[in-house]
């Protein structure tokens, strides 16, 4: 479920910043399915103040925003690999995206060959979410400069209230005068905030789970997988329970399946069953 899918004739292939990119047909299907309710809600909200574009066009905007946001996320990983002397390719698929290295070694400044250290791996794992966060901040700044009210940016701006800083994206000072620009900024910022937050949860094999694994490896002088699977199983179950109680069955099933994958991996450490 979470590995690289088999290539097919329906995949879209192109090159971005020197990295080969493959977008599977299931990426479009799953992204559209996840965004249908969001497009309906956005169309209903816009129809109260503006001529709404309709659910279909908004769904296309949603799919495009998700595609760009996930591509930037994986680009962060790929650029980090390149920094350490390793080339990679990017795959966008039903579970989001993957940056897959094409070599397991990098070269140090002296020309010697070395494996990536645990610190290197942590940097690579964090590079994707951080670049995605940065793109959300840039998009929010551009929206503010253009005077566009973006609900997803305003929600983040509310976090500044405890610091005594007024929310710069408050609807009182910005407007929603174009449904297309409003939707593009809103969808993109929404995805580019929540996607990296989910990925930073310590559930293996999400980015946060990889950080836990390599951190545990440093502290325990082991490979860190056992500790990462234990944390991933517990956190995965808790997150699945939270989503279930908040009426989000799709994400609940996703994290439940991730938790079960970690539980199965933990069972493998005990050796074969005794009969």
> Residue 97, Cα to own-chain centre: how many angstroms?
8
For residue 250, what pLDDT is reported?
82
- pTM higher than the cut 0.85: yes
Task: Evaluate if residue 273 carries a pLDDT over 80.
Answer: no
Lowest mean pLDDT among 13-27, 36-50, 232-246: 36-50
Mean pLDDT of 140-169: 76
Rounded to whole angstroms, the Cα distance separating 136 from 70 reads 12
Number of other CB atoms surrounding residue 58 within 10 Å: 24
The label of the residue with tokens 């005990």 reads 270
For residue 274, what pLDDT is reported?
43
For residue 271, what pLDDT is reported?
46
Rounded to whole angstroms, the Cα distance separating 120 from 161 reads 36
| N- to C-terminal Cα separation, the chain | 30
Burial class (CB in 10 A: 0-12, 13-18, 19+), 214: buried
For residue 60, what pLDDT is reported?
96
> Residue 161: helix, strand or coil by DSSP?
helix
Which residues are CB-contacts of 5 (< 8 A; sequence separation ≥ 6)? 24, 26, 91, 93, 94
In percent, the amount of the chain with pLDDT more than 70 equals 87
* Digit-coded pLDDT (tens) for 133-149: 999 999 988 988 888 88
Rounded to whole angstroms, the Cα distance separating 3 from 172 reads 46
Angle 204-88-74 (CA atoms, 0-180°, nearest 5)? Answer: 55
Mean pLDDT of 13-42: 93
Task: Evaluate if residue 91 carries a pLDDT over 60.
Answer: yes
Task: Evaluate if residue 19 carries a pLDDT over 70.
Answer: yes
Band (63; pLDDT cuts 50, 70, 90): very high
Q: Which residue has the higher pLDDT, 37 or 107?
A: 37
> Residue 99: helix, strand or coil by DSSP?
strand
Band (272; pLDDT cuts 50, 70, 90): very low
For residue 173, what pLDDT is reported?
63
């Amino acid at each position: 479920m979470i590995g690289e899918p088999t290539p097919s004739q329906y995949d879209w292939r192109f090159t971005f910043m020197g990295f080969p990119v493959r977008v599977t047909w299931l990426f479009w299907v799953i992204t559209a399915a996840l965004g249908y309710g969001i497009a309906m809600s956005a169309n209903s909200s816009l129809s109260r103040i503006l001529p709404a574009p309709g659910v279909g066009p908004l769904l296309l905007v949603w799919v495009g925003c998700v595609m760009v946001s996930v591509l930037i996320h994986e680009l962060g990983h790929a650029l980090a690999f390149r920094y350490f002397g390793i080339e990679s390719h990017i795959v966008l698929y039903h579970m989001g995206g993957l940056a897959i290295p094409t070599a397991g070694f990098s070269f140090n400044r002296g020309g010697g060959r070395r494996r990536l250290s645990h610190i290197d791996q942590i940097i690579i794992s964090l590079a994707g979410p951080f670049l995605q966060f940065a793109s959300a901040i840039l998009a929010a700044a551009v929206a503010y400069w253009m005077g566009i009210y973006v609900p997803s940016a305003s929600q983040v701006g509310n976090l500044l209230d405890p610091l005594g800083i007024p929310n710069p994206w408050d609807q009182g000072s910005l407007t929603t005068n174009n449904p297309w620009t409003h939707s593009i900024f809103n969808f993109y910022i929404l995805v580019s905030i929540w996607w990296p937050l989910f990925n930073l949860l310590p559930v293996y094999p999400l980015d946060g789970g990889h950080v836990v694994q390599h951190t545990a490896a440093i502290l325990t002088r082991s490979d860190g997988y056992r500790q990462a699977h234990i944390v991933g199983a517990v956190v995965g179950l808790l997150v699945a329970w939270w989503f279930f109680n908040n009426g989000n069955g799709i994400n609940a099933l996703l994290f439940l399946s991730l938790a079960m994958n970690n539980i199965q991996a933990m069972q493998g450490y005990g050796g074969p069953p005794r009969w």
